[in-house]
Structure 1
Amino acid sequence: MVLKNYFFTIFFIGWVVLITWLSLFSFSGLDTGSVSIPYADKVTHLVFYGGFVVLGCLFIRELKSRKIACNGAIAIMLPSAVIYGIFIEFLQYTITENRMAEYGDAIANTIGAGLGALLIWWYFSKKQPLKWKI
């Protein structure tokens, strides 16, 4: 067992832990000063859940020793990301005091996951794609 053979596994797990931590802990004391970026929250959701799907597909590819089709990995990770995003919104609603669940966040999560799926599909199926299998 060589650690470098599990790069995407470690990166994906770390990404999910980061999403969970940032979603469930309050940053109400954080002073952003006069910085105000419109829809920054929704863009963050898009990036996080797009990354979830991309890294998740690479994690599955690594875990299955490249013996799963790209579309199969997407079929697993896309609904997983959407369900995970809805679950996190539910946890924000039920167990946190300073965080709130929003339908807009769940929609941004879903769109981000879809964009991540399109990105990984395109990356491995373009005219001169990277090889999904060896």
Structure 2
Amino acid sequence: MLKKYLYTLLFLGWVVIITVLSLFSFSSMDLDTGTLNIPYADKITHFIFYMVFGFTGCLSLRERTKGSLGLAKTLKIVLVLAIIYGILIEILQFTLTTDRMAEMGDVLANTLGAFSGIGLIRWVFSKKNPLKWKF
């Protein structure tokens, strides 16, 4: 049973991880970040999180529809879903949390990450690769 819904479970788990990490306050925890200072580390994190969101979202939708939805339509659906979800998370950060900030830069990083994730899907299922979209 788990094998049948592997990508769907991975995608839903990833969405939960993004939600928790985006809305949970880490300021009350004593986290030693050391002296490592990476410029734009939070934007890079947003980009990577939403790249995985886009990639696993496409695989999940493919799994749920057995590839009958079509690659192009799936990519559009997942891209729109990722953008809306990213904006919603930023709104929730603004309204529900006291120590988290909503930033347009985060929305941009989320969107670019989602584009990268679906671009990776397009490459994986391209004519140059042996994987087929339909089951």
Which band: TM-score by shorter chain?
over 0.9
1:117 correspondence with 2:118: yes
1:131 aligns with 132
Query: Which letter does structure 2 place at the counterpart of 1:6?
Result: Y
Q: CA deviation at 1:39?
A: 1.2
Q: CA deviation at 1:41?
A: 0.5
* TM-score of the aligned structures, taking structure 1 as reference length: 0.94
1:49 aligns with 50
Q: CA deviation at 1:59?
A: 0.3
1:103 correspondence with 2:99: no
1:60 aligns with 61
Query: Which letter does structure 2 place at the counterpart of 1:104?
Result: G
> How many residues align structurally?
133
Q: CA deviation at 1:89?
A: 0.3
Query: Which letter does structure 1 place at the counterpart of 2:64?
Result: L
1:4 aligns with 3
**CA–CA distance in 2 between the matches of 1:129 and 1:17?**
32
CA spacing shift, 1:42–1:126, aligned 2, 3 Å: farther
**CA–CA distance in 2 between the matches of 1:128 and 1:109?**
27
Q: Deviations over 1:44-74 (max 9, x none)?
A: 1001111111100000011012212111110
**CA–CA distance in 2 between the matches of 1:45 and 1:56?**
16
- In the TM superposition, structure 1's runs of 4+ consecutive aligned residues that sit over 3 Å from their partners are none
Query: Which letter does structure 2 place at the counterpart of 1:46?
Result: F
Query: What is the Cα-based RMSD across aligned positions, in Å?
Result: 1.1
2:82 aligns with 81
**CA–CA distance in 1 between the matches of 2:44 and 2:63?**
28
Query: Which letter does structure 1 place at the counterpart of 2:81?
Result: S
